[in-house]
Structure 1
Amino acid sequence: MTAHPNDSSDPADESFASSSLSAESGGRTALRMERRLAHPPQRVWEAITRPANLARWFPSEVSVDLRPGGEIGFHFPGDSGPGMTGKVTDADEPRLFAFTWSEDHLSWEITPDGDGSRLTLVHTFGDRFGAASFASGWQVCVTALAQVLAGGPVDVEQDRRGTLHEAYLARFGELTRGRVEETGDGGLRVRFERQLVRPAETVWSQLTGGVEPLTGSPVPPGFTADNVPAGPVTDVRAPRLLAYAWHPEGEVRWELGTGTGHGPRLVLTQTGPRGFDTDGALVAWRARVEELAAGLLDAE
């Protein structure tokens, strides 16, 4: 899905002229983002490859042996651990700088564009549902990069509220749609996965309405959706999991696991026998997840 740069009401328009997601081999995803910079390629090259310049806009401190096969290291300020390492895959001055970072691959391509440059970032990764977190993070970073190139102070507002993250989720619309899966025992599963923008405790509070559920108790309304029956709670582990029966052969399950940057990763499933109304469930649960996500933007 390609972004629409003329929609000035979208906060995701402020940095990148375009952004898109594509499916790659092996179940990986490529995030492609482009921005025009008012500086020649050599100047941009120095800003994205020299550690002293990278330290001003990149999300970690970087050390690099700038040659194909050279080692690149990443260390987050305040982290007492050994940091992470990767390998430089391309170093074609002043055109292409690419490297691995853990299991991800980042490619920064610089092409002349009039009296400036066009910078294209392609970030390839395995966690497809982390794409909006990655996109919003790179927008903040590249906004800072532009300020470094301009020679002024770096003054970039972080996406602490999650507005930018949600704007990218809206752009990458496929990330908000659920899917239907086989369960392996002849049944079906409706599954939604979504990165949320508040801590798990905040999400849990929104879902429970402040009344802690117990096994056997009625399901708090926050965990339900229109036209989906709700039996008693069958499993609860605050603030990470709640499950309940909706059918003698089916379960609804809310799980809040480890996420990317902003908060927990929600995995919401409804299982049931073959023939249950999966189309209706997709509509009902998408509406409920969107309602939850909108409410979290205003949550403390």
Structure 2
Amino acid sequence: MSKTHSNRSVLIAVSLAIGLLAAPIAEAAQQLRIGYQKSSTLISLLKSQGTLEKALADQNIAISWHEFPNGQPLLEALNVGNIDLSADVADTVPVFAQAAGADLAYFAQEAPSPSAQAIIVREDSPITSLADLKGKKVAVTKAAGVHYLLIAALNKAGLKFSDIEPAYLTPADGRAAFENRKVDAWVTWEPFLSSAQQQLPTRILADGKGLADYQRYYLTSVTFAKRHPQVLQTVFDELVKTGDWLRANPRQAAEILGPLWGNLDPAIVEKANAKRSYQVRLVQPDSLAEQQKIADAFYGASLLPTSVDAREVSIWSPQ
């Protein structure tokens, strides 16, 4: 074999080896890590139907899904970089994250759903007004949207948060305490609210109308928002379409979500979803007025370590 031919063979072999090594790198999909809760309705629908994977395929992006028990650890994971996007969380949760110095960016919100959370008592309870809550034990999930509803309701009745005995419980524990009469009232949200109304003798003492808008927010990190605007655009578009589909197909959506929500009766799921707007829209600076009310209320009740300017946040918008 000639030296020239030998050199050419070596070059070909090296080129093939480089090509084989480079191919997997070029084809490897980027991971989009999405955090969600069991009650993250629209994200749960996207996950169960594989819709978002299809929408992001052209951008060579694969999705990994990460479930969290509630909004607080979800946003903590986002803040430390363990996930890239957060599914919807109650409007109170970003306020607490902001007070803790988290560098978060809003990229979508759901229009208000004030009737999707309420303060309930047993049907035979002697409590007939918000003022009657004075001195009573009330189950509530700390830092959740219902926490703000309770503060706002007490303020309306001329009471302070210190006038009640809060029992900070998860929704499941709150339901158990309420059912077993360990608490006098329970503040909860959908679908736990409709489930309790369907299965227990209850009365609504007050819902969010006139007290708490209950807007839910989708968040990311400031860094991710700057680096991946097209990914956020795709996710936003799919959330809008899914919200539209749910409102147009409430029963079909309920049949999908029921098994995901602990085999909840689709009739209860449909009732619960009817109280949520599921209207996904962009976040506008002037829409953060409710966030400021929330921040001021928690700070005034000594439940936030520092005051918060709700406008000092990053807001993603399409290019």
Of the two, which has the highest radius of gyration? 2
Task: Say which structure is richer in strand.
Answer: 1
Normalising by the residue count of structure 1, what TM-score does the alignment of the two structures yield?
A: 0.27
Task: Say which structure is richer in helix.
Answer: 2
Normalising by the residue count of structure 2, what TM-score does the alignment of the two structures yield?
A: 0.26
Choose between structure 1 and 2 for higher RCO, CA contacts under 8 A separated by at least 6 residues.
2
